[in-house]
Chain A
Amino acid sequence: MLDSRLKFLTSRAEEGPAELEGLESTGRFALTTEGVGTPRVRVLLRMAEGYGADDLNELSRHTGLTVLTQAGDVIGGEIGIDRLAELDELEAVGYVEASRPTLPELDAAVPETQADKVHTGPPGFRGAGVIVGVVDSGIDWRHACFRDPTGKTRIQRIWDQNLTPEAGESSPAPFGHGVEYQRSAIDNALRAPNPLSRVRHMDDSVGHGTHVAGIAAGDGSSAGNDRPAFTFVGVAPEAELVVVANRVTSEALGDSMGTLEAVGYVFKVAETLGRPAVVNISQGDNLGPHDGSSLLERGIDNLLNAPGRALVKSAGNAANAGVHATGQVTEGDSEVVQFLVPANDSTPDTLDIWYSGADRLSLQITPPSGTASAEVAPGTTAADLDLPGGNKAFVDSVVHHSQNGDNRIYVQLSRGSQTAIRPGTWSITLTGRTVADSGRWHAWVERGQTVPQFIGQHRNDEITISVPGTSQKVVTAASYITKGAGQGNLSTFSSRGPTRDGRTAPTLAAPGQAITSALAGASGTDQYQPMSGTSMAAPHLTGVCALMLQSKPTMTQEDLVLLLTNSARRDPFTGGAPGNDWGAGKVDAAAAVNSMP
C-alpha cells in the first residue's frame, strides 16, 4: 500500500518532469530529478510479515529499488517514480511511504531529552570530568566534534582490537592484543601532516562508532550540512572519551569476549584517571538464555560493582524481525514451529531453545517438503544429524544447564553435502516427554547477513531484547520517533521485553530514529549523517548518565537506574504505567538530574 504522499507524487508525475522539478525545489519532497533519466523518490518501506532479507534482494532487483538502510523490517531506499506501482503490487511489501525531509536531528533530539536544560543549569552540567566509553566500530578521531576549544582531542584512549602493534606501538596490559593510543599520541597525530601514519586506527566506512560517540559526547563544533557550528551538540559535550574498536567482520561487530574486555578496559582507564565512567554498547546478539545468566552479562554485572561505573546497552532492532518464537507444549503432545530459510544461505544457522528445568522436550527437524529427522531426546547430543536432502544438524540438548538450571536445545543447521541450506519452510517439532512445569519454551535465531526467521503462530515479538541487554544491571535503551511520521511513537523496530525470567525491560526510551550525528570521513560541508536504530537511542542515555555522574561521581548503576526510571516522562504514547515496550517511559535528563539527592 502506498501512502497518500506517494499517490500524490505519482499523479503529479503524469503532468511531466517540470511538475516534479517544481515540487523538488520546494524542499518538501524527497525527490531527485536532476541527472537521472526518470525522477526518483526516497521511500520508507515495511516488509510484509514472513518476508526478509532475501526477499529484499529479489525485490530490489525486480523494481530497481536502491536500498540505503535497513532497520528490522523497515527499509529506506530510493526508487524511480515510475516503478512505485510495481513495488506496491509485490506481496513482500507491506507498506510504502514517502521519505519526509526532516530537520537535522541531534539538535532536536537533545532538547527532547531535556539535556539542554541540564547544560545550562544552574548549575550547568556538560559531562566534564566524566569518561564516556564507546565500545563499537571505532571513531574518526580527527572529527572536530571530539576536540576541546583549544583544538586538542577529548579522546583519552583508543584501543583498536583489530590492529597488530608495529614499531612504537603497544597493546594494553593485560589484554595482550590490539593497539592502544593515548591522548598525547592522538594530539601529536592531529598536528602531523599525515595523521593516519601516526595513529593507524580509523572507524570503518559505515562510521557507526563515530556516530554513536557524537550523540553521547560530540560538541557539535563543526559547521556542516548547511548548519552553523554547535547545531549538533551531543548530550555530554564536555565528557572525555575512551573508545574501543571491536573486531569487525562482514557478519559481526565484535564478540562477547572482546566486548567484556572492552568494558573492563574502559573502567580500568577511568580508575587510573580517577574519573567516573559510563560505557555505551550499541551491539548485541539474539542467542542466549535472556535471563542475565550468559557469561558476558554476568561479567558486565560484576564490573558494575563499584561506584562511578555505569553501562547502557541498546535494546535491539528485533521487533517485527521474526527472531523469536514461543509456545507451550503439554505432556505427550507436540508443537510444530515453522521458520523460513532464505535462498543462498550457506553459513550455519543457529536456533537456541530454552525451557524449564522441570520439563523434558524432545526435538525433530523437518526440511522443506521432507520427512522428519530422527528424534533427539532430552539430555543427548546429536553431533552429525543427517537431514533429508543432504543438509546436516548439530543438536545439543542440555538438561539442567549449569548457569541457570533450565534446559536448552541448541540447534545448528549446516549445508552438509549441499551448496546451501535448503530454502523454504522448515519446522522443528517439540514433543513434551515430561511436563512437570508449564511446558513453556522460547526459541531465538542467530543474526547474520542471510539467516532464517520464524513464521506462523509461534512467531512472537516479545522477549526480543538482545544479549547483553537482558543483564540484571544494565540500562537498556528503547527507541522512539522524534520527527516526521509517527512522531512520539515507539520505533516499530525497537525490541520488546520482558526478559525470559519475567523482569520488565527495556529500562526506558530515548530518541533513536533518523538521528543526525558525526560522520566518519567528514570533509568540507559533509560533517554529519543520519542513522536509525536503538544503537542511536543508547548513546542518548549514556550521555544523560554522564551528566548525572558529573553531578555526583559516586553514583552506582543501581542509583542511576532508579533515578532514570523514576523521572521518566509518560505521555499518551507511552501509556500511564511502565511496560515491556517503553520501559519506564521517555528519558527526562533534567528531571533525573534535579531529583538527585
Chain B
Amino acid sequence: MRADKLGSAARRALLNVGTAAEAAGPTSFRVLIRVKEEPGEEQRRQLTDAGAQVYMVAGDVLTASVAPGDLGRLTDLDCVDYVELSEPLHPETGARTQKQ
C-alpha cells in the first residue's frame, strides 16, 4: 500500500471499513484516479488486474469503483499517481428536501 497516494477521505474511509468489515461485508469505493498520462491498453489492463473497474477516462483522470481490499494493489501501480474518494456535492440554491 502506498498510503501517500491516497486522499485523506479515502484513508479515513479505509479505517471505517476496517472497523465495520465483519458486520457489513465488503463494499466498493467510488473513486477518482489520477494517472501519469492518459492510459493505454497496458495501463488499463494493470488497473483492471489491480481490482479497479474503470468507467470513464477524462485525460489523466479516471472514474472507477474499487473494493477497499484492492486499494493497496491499486496504489502500488507505477501508473497511478493519486486516488481520491468521490465527494458529495450540494445544490447552490435555497432549501432542499429529500428525494420522494
Chains A and B come from one and the same complex: yes
> When A248-B99, A249-B98, A403-B34 are in contact, do A300 and B86 touch as well, CB less than 8 Å?
no
> When A250-B98, A255-B89, A285-B90 are in contact, do A302 and B58 touch as well, CB less than 8 Å?
yes
- Does A284 belong to the interface (CB within 8 Å)? yes
A316 to B89, CA, bound (A): 11
B82 to chain A, nearest CB (A): 5
> When A255-B87, A394-B12, A402-B82 are in contact, do A76 and B58 touch as well, CB less than 8 Å?
no
B29 to chain A, nearest CB (A): 10
Q: Which residues of B contact A412 (CB under 8 A)?
A: 12
B38 to chain A, nearest CB (A): 8
By the criterion CB–CB under 8 Å, are A316 and B95 in contact?
no
Closest to A350 in B: B9
Question: Chain B interface mostly helix, strand, loop or mixed?
Answer: mixed
B28 to chain A, nearest CB (A): 12
- Does A567 belong to the interface (CB within 8 Å)? no
A219 to B46, CA, bound (A): 49
Among A66-74, A220-228, A497-505, the one that faces the other chain is: A66-74
> When A295-B82, A403-B34 are in contact, do A174 and B9 touch as well, CB less than 8 Å?
no
Among A76, A175, A260, point to the contact of B32 (Cβ < 8 A): A260
Among A205, A263, A294, A302, point to the contact of B59 (Cβ < 8 A): A302
- Does B49 belong to the interface (CB within 8 Å)? no
A315 to B92, CA, bound (A): 8
A547 to B91, CA, bound (A): 25
By the criterion CB–CB under 8 Å, are A255 and B59 in contact?
no
By the criterion CB–CB under 8 Å, are A260 and B96 in contact?
no
The 8 A CB mask of B28-71 against A (1 = contact, 0 = none) is: 00111110000000000000000001011011110100000000
Q: Which residues of B contact A248 (CB under 8 A)?
A: 98-99
A548 to B55, CA, bound (A): 32
A229 to B89, CA, bound (A): 35
Interface residues of A in 486-501 (CB under 8 A from B): none
Among B11, B32, B100, point to the contact of A256 (Cβ < 8 A): B32
- What number of A residues sit within 8 Å (CB to CB) of B? 75
What's the count of A-B pairs with C-beta under 8 Å? 169
Interface residues of A in 271-305 (CB under 8 A from B): 282-285, 287-288, 294-296, 298-300, 302-303, 305
Q: Which residues of A contact B12 (CB under 8 A)?
A: 394, 396, 410, 412
By the criterion CB–CB under 8 Å, are A535 and B88 in contact?
no
> When A285-B88, A299-B61, A402-B82 are in contact, do A208 and B93 touch as well, CB less than 8 Å?
yes
> When A299-B58, A532-B94 are in contact, do A253 and B32 touch as well, CB less than 8 Å?
no
By the criterion CB–CB under 8 Å, are B89 and A305 in contact?
no
By the criterion CB–CB under 8 Å, are B9 and A264 in contact?
no
Q: Which residues of A contact B4 (CB under 8 A)?
A: 402
Q: Which residues of A contact B53 (CB under 8 A)?
A: 176
By the criterion CB–CB under 8 Å, are A254 and B88 in contact?
yes
A384 to B18, CA, bound (A): 13
The 8 A CB mask of B5-18 against A (1 = contact, 0 = none) is: 10011011001000
By the criterion CB–CB under 8 Å, are A259 and B61 in contact?
no
By the criterion CB–CB under 8 Å, are A208 and B30 in contact?
no
Among A206, A252, A260, A264, point to the contact of B88 (Cβ < 8 A): A252
B39 to chain A, nearest CB (A): 13
A454 to chain B, nearest CB (A): 18
A288 to B8, CA, bound (A): 11
Which 5 pairs across A and B sit closest by C-beta, in order of nearness? A302-B59, A533-B93, A252-B88, A410-B8, A257-B86
Point out residues on B near A: beta carbons under 8 Å.
Answer: 4-5, 8-9, 11-12, 15, 30-34, 53, 55-56, 58-61, 63, 81-82, 84, 86-100
List 13 extra interface pairs beyond A136-B91, A295-B84, CB under 8 A: A69-B95, A175-B55, A204-B99, A206-B96, A248-B98, A250-B98, A254-B89, A255-B89, A264-B56, A285-B87, A295-B34, A302-B59, A533-B94
Point out residues on A near B: beta carbons under 8 Å.
Answer: 67-71, 76, 136-137, 162, 174-177, 204-206, 208, 246, 248-261, 263-264, 282-285, 287-288, 294-296, 298-300, 302-303, 305, 314-317, 350, 381, 383-384, 394, 396, 398, 402-403, 408, 410, 412, 447-448, 466, 531-536, 538
13 A-B pairs in the complex with CB atoms less than 8 angstroms apart? A162-B99, A248-B99, A259-B89, A260-B58, A282-B91, A298-B59, A299-B58, A302-B61, A396-B8, A410-B8, A466-B90, A466-B92, A533-B93
